[in-house]
Structure 1
Amino acid sequence: MADIDCNLILVARTVDKLRELKQRLTMSKAKIDIYAADLRDQEQIDEFIKYIQNLPVDIFINNAGKSICRPVMQSLDRQHDFERTIKLNYLTPVQLCLALIPKLQQSKGHIINVSAVNVLFAPAVNWSAYQASKTAFDQWLRSAMPELQNRQIKVSTAYLPLVKTRMIEPTKAYQNLPALQPKQAATIISYLLQTQKRQYKPWWAMIVQLAGVLFNGIWFKLNCYYIKRK
């Protein structure tokens, strides 16, 4: 988006990387503003919302996320895992949407949620914190969509498969699996911006969804078998 005449507000935790990115885009057509914030921290979220109150907003892309793969039996004394995950993956984007909806209504704007394809599938063992939190915001946004569209706010969701970022590195099972490059994920987001379609999901997602309905009992038994083997 830096190649078009627009104003980009880039939000992330690491100020050095934001400055590096802004420097790299110095010669682009877009005006680049950066804002360093940890969106798990309530005070920092409140400060960011104050910052954008006086700015026009046409598009909100929700891309922040926290992934965690851990058995429940290893989480009995780790309540914070669930709190942090639900905070970043669900409560924070809801709060940002509530703050931005009046602005997006004025501009007839667009909300794009970068989600995960597994929220469409049957639950998987070891992913209780992550899958529940991502599904929570997906359900919230889908429930709010008719109201938002009635106010001329467009809503799109990118149900992405694995993307090769730092977030998937701690999960050993993902190391040898095919994954999108970040540029490919960015292209999908751009596609939703241009077409304003309600969603993107891989062509094979429908097959997995159907299999999850038809073979739900078998999937559950496979999860049980996996746990016993482990």
Structure 2
Amino acid sequence: MTATGWWFQAKHALDTRGPFARRRGRTLAGAVASRRVLITGASSGIGRAAAIELGAAGAVVILVARREAELREVVDAVTARGGQAFAYPCDLNDAEASEAMIGKVLAEHGGVDILVNNAGRSIRRSLADSYERAHDFERTMQLNYFAAVRLMLGVLPGMRERRFCQVINVLSVANLFGGPRYSAYVASKAALDEVSTCFQAETLHENITFTSVYMPLVRTAMIAPNKQYADAPALTSEQGGQVICDAIVRRPRRMGPTFGRLVRLTDAISTERADVGRHRRYNSGI
């Protein structure tokens, strides 16, 4: 499948029906004008691309990542297109630093209207190679789950008061069909998905949407060390950023490629058959 094919599936196979469907005729500018959008992992890749598009559309973009110099470059890229952007360098693995950053953002901007939990850590390691590496699971959970939860707990009180906000969690398509060799990564993203489902149930009538984006493979620095993906079909960072923008416009509850959703359905009907497929994927070396 070509990268364009992946993008077509990601863009058009959306769950846009039900109580969380939003106006199909909305534009990005209409959805984000003057709204405060906090994006983690904003110094490169998907986060950078989304920030530039959102800033150009009129959002007040709040950028969070570890690398300050690269964050400043994104601020410059946003402002060059007439947008507003503010950099907040922070290591989200550090709980105290995260709490201080959240407090500063709330004090300086008065709140966050849209939170994009995009920062993440991926580890490719088989079970056989993980027996002495429990810390891989711990550090992956620290960034992919605990840091994201800390941010949600920080901004949700204000979101609930304003009653029109959105939390976007960038997950993986592997959360739909399983990811052999990526157990730490997939499990951490699954935890984020499930806690958001619980939060959504508690805020059902408060006009807050928790959007799970099951992102296909994107050609970013995260996958660069994995040589088996060198020639694999993948979205560009710009296409990944556009997925985030589309999620903001449409406000779906869940968003992901058709093939992943079909595999999840197969898993629900026949877990054993789905396990066979996952085992074959593992044996293929992917």
TM-score, normalising length from structure 2? Answer: 0.73
**Hey, what's the Cα distance between the residues in 2 that align with 1:226 and 1:199?**
25
CA separation of 1:29/1:216 partners in 2, compared to 1, >3 Å: closer, same or farther?
Answer: same
CA separation of 1:215/1:25 partners in 2, compared to 1, >3 Å: closer, same or farther?
Answer: same
**Hey, what's the Cα distance between the residues in 2 that align with 1:63 and 1:77?**
29
CA separation of 1:204/1:218 partners in 2, compared to 1, >3 Å: closer, same or farther?
Answer: closer
State whether structure 2 residue 62 is matched by structure 1 residue 46. Answer: no
Q: Report how far residue 159 of structure 1 moved.
A: 1.0
Seq. identity, %: 33
The answer to whether the Cα contact below 8 Å between 1:4 and 1:29 also exists between their aligned partners in 2 is no
2:79 corresponds to which letter in structure 1? T
Post-superposition Cα deviations, 1:180-222, rounded to whole Å, max 9, x if no partner, equal 1111111111111112121211122233223434553345456
The one of 167, 187, 193 equivalent to 1:111 is 167
State whether structure 2 residue 183 is matched by structure 1 residue 128. Answer: yes
CA separation of 1:134/1:227 partners in 2, compared to 1, >3 Å: closer, same or farther?
Answer: closer
Q: Name 1:159's counterpart in structure 2.
A: 214
Q: Between the two structures, name the one with larger relative contact order (CA 8 Å, sep ≥ 6).
A: 2
**Hey, what's the Cα distance between the residues in 2 that align with 1:113 and 1:40?**
17
1:58 corresponds to which letter in structure 2? D
Question: Which runs of 5 or more residues in structure 1 are unaligned?
Answer: none
**Hey, what's the Cα distance between the residues in 2 that align with 1:200 and 1:82?**
26
State whether structure 2 residue 197 is matched by structure 1 residue 142. Answer: yes
Aligned pairs for 1:181-220 within 5 A: 181-214=236-269, 216-220=271-275
The answer to whether the Cα contact below 8 Å between 1:149 and 1:155 also exists between their aligned partners in 2 is no
State whether structure 2 residue 61 is matched by structure 1 residue 8. Answer: yes
Q: Which deviates further from its counterpart, 99-108 or 83-92? A: 99-108
Question: Which runs of 5 or more residues in structure 2 are unaligned?
Answer: 1-53
State whether structure 2 residue 86 is matched by structure 1 residue 28. Answer: no
TM-score, normalising length from structure 1? Answer: 0.89
How many residue pairs are counted as aligned between the two chains? Answer: 229
**Hey, what's the Cα distance between the residues in 1 that align with 2:226 and 2:92?**
23
The answer to whether the Cα contact below 8 Å between 1:6 and 1:29 also exists between their aligned partners in 2 is no
Q: Which deviates further from its counterpart, 147-156 or 215-224? A: 215-224
CA-atom RMSD in angstroms = 2.2
2:254 corresponds to which letter in structure 1? Q
1:152 corresponds to which letter in structure 2? N
Q: Report how far residue 42 of structure 1 moved.
A: 1.7
The alignment partner of 1:74 has SS state of: coil
**Hey, what's the Cα distance between the residues in 2 that align with 1:214 and 1:177?**
29
CA separation of 1:15/1:118 partners in 2, compared to 1, >3 Å: closer, same or farther?
Answer: same
